Chains A and B, each alone.
Chain A
Amino acid sequence: MYRYDEFDHDFVRARVAQFADQVERRLSGELTEDQFKPLRLMNGVYLQLHAYMLRIAVPYGTLSAKQMRMLAQIARKYDRGYGHFTTRQNLQFNWPALKDVPAILADLASVEMHALQTSGNCIRNVTSDHFAGAAADEVADPRPYAEILRQWSSIHPEFSFLPRKFKLCVIAAEHDRAAMQTHDIGLQLKRNAEGELGFAVFVGGGQGRTPMIAHKVRDFLPEEDLLAYVEAIMRVYNLHGRRDNKFKARIKILVHETGVEEITRQIEAEFAEVLKADLLRLPEDEIDRIRAYFAAPELAEKPARSGAFEAAKADSREFTAFAENNVSPHKAPGYGIVTVSLKPIGGIPGDASAEQMEVVADLAERYSQSEIRVSHEQNLVLPHVALDDMPALYATLAEHGLATGNAGLVTDIIACPGLDYCALANARSINIAQDLSNRFGSPERQEEIGELSIKISGCINACGHHHVGHIGLLGVDKRGEEVYQITLGGSADETAAVGTLVGPGFKTDEVGDAVETVVDTYLKLREGPDENFLAAVRRLGQKPFKEALYGAA
């Protein structure tokens, strides 16, 4: 993975020192809250319902065992013994004291981590496929490009005061595991007919109060033009993006109001200007230099089939579920990519205790080349595990509540922190996720239902990705009561779609039954187990679900 050079170290340390001074000035009264707020947000510090919250960047979702261990140490020393992995592949601590934040940031800097650009109207943490560098189906590792974008966008003077926040995502497979088309800019690494690397470029995706799926503006952008083209998009947005209305300030609105054809023309015109300056063409040797940091680990050669793995499957139904759902194809024969579920039945999606973080760090060191990934689905990933090692790995995960074999199933629920923590929320999310997880938690029921994503947000900002859930739940405040609207048919993969509201919302004590009704209707009407929930909704439309929920009109 990427290692800081001297410049990176100096830069991050300087920011820690700068923020330590700002905190001191705030605590002494030299700075008012109005003066301090934008400064703390630039360093990932929010003030939530119960306490400050620190959002730590996990660039493109990649963590080393050493970094994970530091997160555990911080959780224990400065927080309440746990952290929350988010849909932006970041980690949030819910209880840090402001006076401790400089010390936390110094600890993070010691393991090459920071909280920069995790808030504010700037280019945020660049996200990527959580199977990057290991997936059998990727064209190449997308992370070198995400790292190049991270370096280019870090305190970029021209793009530090954008109309609104800006999110980039880079993937490298046809199958989109990173919700790429819901980003302001989505980049799909691909090869052209000549075998050269380049990108399909998507612009104008986003969730929030006006959900939109990104439009493709370039089918193939040569690799060397990555920064020039992204800079051109940023310039068009920075110039024309609305600054008069926060709710219309994202690039998706600009794309929508300008039209895809015209915005593409503007981007291409700006791109031509950027190219003229000839400053942003990526030199091949620089790409190679960054790529070298992400060189695939040297894995011992293994036969494709593992006797130990197959024997464990024959032995245990739980292990079989784990193997089928949580182990994905690796590019190297005899290896698998392990999804470590942070969705125990009835648990809090995305939460991990300090002890669990340390267990994952230990397992990464022992079985996965010290590498860990964070998924936007709020799970952890051990990317390089030999199939032979799976039974032992599973046994340790199981000892620590981390072996739930539910990746991609109905209990693998995404939920934002909601009104239990978040100052913006209108309703709770986690309690609904727990209720649904308990309702659908039996292995038999999950197996029967098959692939189904439920995503829950506690407000219209949609951190819980409800718009792109096969079943989406949006919590709203209706005359002082928490009410949940249900959307159906959303999707975050390469067939990305925004779900459709099925009808009036349900109260807290009704919404679990309503979701069960939707799932039962699917089971009754599907053409067979091979037709998953999303396919059935796309075939059937909303009508049968509406009738089941509200009665025939």
Chain B
Amino acid sequence: MSAPIQKSAAKTRAATQVVTGNRLTDGVVVYLDSAGGWSERLNDARVVEGAEALEAALAAGKAAEAAQVVVEAYPIDVKREPDGLRALRVREDIRARGPSVRVDLERPLGA
């Protein structure tokens, strides 16, 4: 993998978050974007700060669940790095980038 897998921060909520889920038709990891759509790229995700913004993003996620777009929308902690957004927990870092043991299937952060 091009960059080492992130060691997770503690499970406390970070200041910046995005909403993610798996696309219903094929299970692919997607992120709620600024236009209200769902992108496969973490870098496209709508970054929210604060309880109110998170609540609105989650409401959009639940609406997408009801509309059969995604399965189980939920928030994750992210941080901004020079090469793009980075998920803070190991699990979400791997979800964003693909299996760490299959470089050929890796999804670069900016891709």
Q: Which residues of A contact B (CB under 8 A)?
A: 26-29, 33, 47-52, 80, 97-99, 348, 419-421, 425, 427-428, 430-431, 434, 477, 479-482
Contact = CB atoms under 8 A, between A and B. Distances in A.
A97 B27 contact: yes
A27 B101 contact: no
Contacts of B67: 29
B101 A348 contact: yes
28 contacts: A27-B68, A33-B72, A47-B22, A47-B27, A49-B29, A49-B94, A50-B27, A50-B95, A51-B22, A51-B27, A51-B28, A52-B26, A80-B105, A97-B27, A98-B24, A98-B26, A98-B27, A348-B101, A348-B102, A419-B90, A420-B94, A420-B100, A420-B102, A421-B99, A428-B100, A430-B99, A477-B90, A481-B8
Nearest to B6: A480
Interface in B33-71: 65, 67-68, 71
Contacts of A49: 29, 91, 94-95
A479 B90 CA distance: 11
Given A51-B22, A480-B9, 14 more contacts: A28-B68, A47-B71, A48-B27, A49-B94, A50-B28, A51-B27, A97-B25, A97-B26, A98-B26, A99-B26, A430-B101, A434-B101, A477-B90, A480-B8
Contacts of B94: 49, 419-420, 428
Contacts of A428: 5, 90, 94, 100-101
A416 to B, nearest CB: 12
A425 B8 CA distance: 14
Q: Is the interface of B mostly helix, strand, loop or mixed?
A: loop
Contacts of B99: 50, 420-421, 430
A481 B99 CA distance: 17
Instruction: Tell which of B11, B27, B29, B102 has the most Cβ of chain A within 10 Å.
Output: B27
Nearest to B9: A480
Contacts of B105: 80
B74 to A, nearest CB: 12
Given A28-B68, A47-B27, A47-B71, A480 B11 contact: yes
B101 A51 contact: no
A50 B26 contact: no
A515 B77 CA distance: 34
Instruction: Tell which of B10, B28, B99 has the most Cβ of chain A within 10 Å.
Output: B99
B98 interface: yes
A518 B101 CA distance: 25
Contacts of A477: 8, 90
B68 to A, nearest CB: 5
A427 B90 CA distance: 8
Ranked 8 nearest A-B pairs via Cβ = A480-B8, A97-B26, A51-B27, A52-B27, A420-B99, A29-B68, A430-B101, A49-B95
Contacts of B7: 480-481
Contacts of B9: 480
Contacts of B26: 51-52, 97-99
A220 B11 CA distance: 53
Given A49-B95, A420-B99, A33 B71 contact: yes
A79 to B, nearest CB: 11
Instruction: Tell which of B10, B29, B71 has the most Cβ of chain A within 10 Å.
Output: B71
A425 B101 CA distance: 15
A482 B27 contact: no
A52 B27 CA distance: 5
Nearest to B98: A50
B28 to A, nearest CB: 6
A290 B106 CA distance: 47
Contacts of B91: 49, 419, 425
A52 B11 CA distance: 26
Contacts of A480: 7-11, 89-90
Contacts of A28: 68
B51 to A, nearest CB: 23
Instruction: Tell which of A33, A80, A428, A480 has the most Cβ of chain B within 10 Å.
Output: A480
Nearest to B91: A419
Nearest to A348: B101
A428 B100 CA distance: 9
